[in-house]
Amino acid sequence: MKVAACKYPVGRPADFEAFAAKQRRLLGEAAARGAQVAVLPEYLSLELAATFPPAVHADLRASLAAIQSLREAWLALFAAIARDTGMHVVAGSFLLAQASGRYRNRADVFAPDGGHLWQDKLQLTGFEKATGVIEGGDVLKVAEIAGVRAGVSVCYDSEFPLPVRAQYEAGARLLLVPSCTDTDAGATRVQVGCLARALENRIFVAQAVTAGQAPWSPALDENTGEATLYAPMDVGFPADGILARTRGGEAWAVADLDFDLLEDTRGRAQVANDRDWTGQAIPALVRARVEGFTAP
């Protein structure tokens, strides 16, 4: 399977059609490179806030409320792109209004046959908690994508091992990570999380990122990191776990993911974190005991 992860240049679209044209162009480039799955970054929907007046796009709460009017157009756009390109498309994330009056950070996934599913972000960052209007999701999913079982882990969620482990145990061998980070430290945290999830579960991970500056938006102001495709750091794969990574102005990291090789090398791995996972649950290891030094 060829998978593409986007280093998305955040812009300032004049209207929805300008935004749509950008998505068609970018995703068309991924399709032209043979991608079967393409991943866009977290908070992609907030680029649409630029289509509203300054009083709206300069205020996060107003931005979140305003973009709800574009939800149906968003769904129609990415469904059409998936159909036209023949790719499965992870359309970044859309901050979707809930009956509670808050918003969930929802990653929509579109199939070429018109199918649609979603995964909400589960864990909130400090920034999201501070908004007072974003809430975490409460459902964890895995689905068949282009013949491979896959899960979505939105940015910060990739830094938590247990939900991803649950996706692995449900059969996921590919983790799709839409992300958005505004500092080098944040970018490093998500990168380390992706590498760790690839290592401990012996799976592939595809991380998309936002890039550039958007001073008009309180959420998309600064953007860092590189789009990357990760593999286990073991037999048959790169020693650093990096299959492909963007550089400079490149928009896509693209790699062929060999799932047959992934399974074939499981039995001859140098280490087997995935198989040895249950060793952590030995009763004597579940709780550490405090112990003093013995006398000499």
pLDDT of residue 270: 87
Instruction: Read off the tokens for 245.
Output: 């990574």
- 249 contacts: CB under 8 Å, gap ≥ 6: 9
Q: Is 269 exposed, middle or buried (0-12, 13-18, 19+ CB in 10 A)?
A: middle
Q: Is 247 exposed, middle or buried (0-12, 13-18, 19+ CB in 10 A)?
A: exposed
* Cα angle 188-57-21, degrees, rounded to a multiple of 5: 80
136-147 per-position pLDDT tens digit: 999 999 999 989
248-258 per-position pLDDT tens digit: 999 999 999 99
- What residue has token string 């032209």? 32
Instruction: Read off the tokens for 211.
Output: 């890039």
3-state secondary structure of 75: helix
Q: How far apart are CA 252 and CA 246, in angstroms?
A: 6
The list of the chain residues with pLDDT below 70 reads: none
Per the DSSP assignment, residues forming a β-bridge with 118 are 108
pLDDT of residue 267: 80
Instruction: Read off the tokens for 288.
Output: 């550490």
pTM of structure: 0.96
pLDDT of residue 15: 98
Element (H, E) at 167: helix 161-169
Contact (CB, 8 A) for 172 and 151: yes
pLDDT of residue 269: 81
pLDDT of residue 94: 98
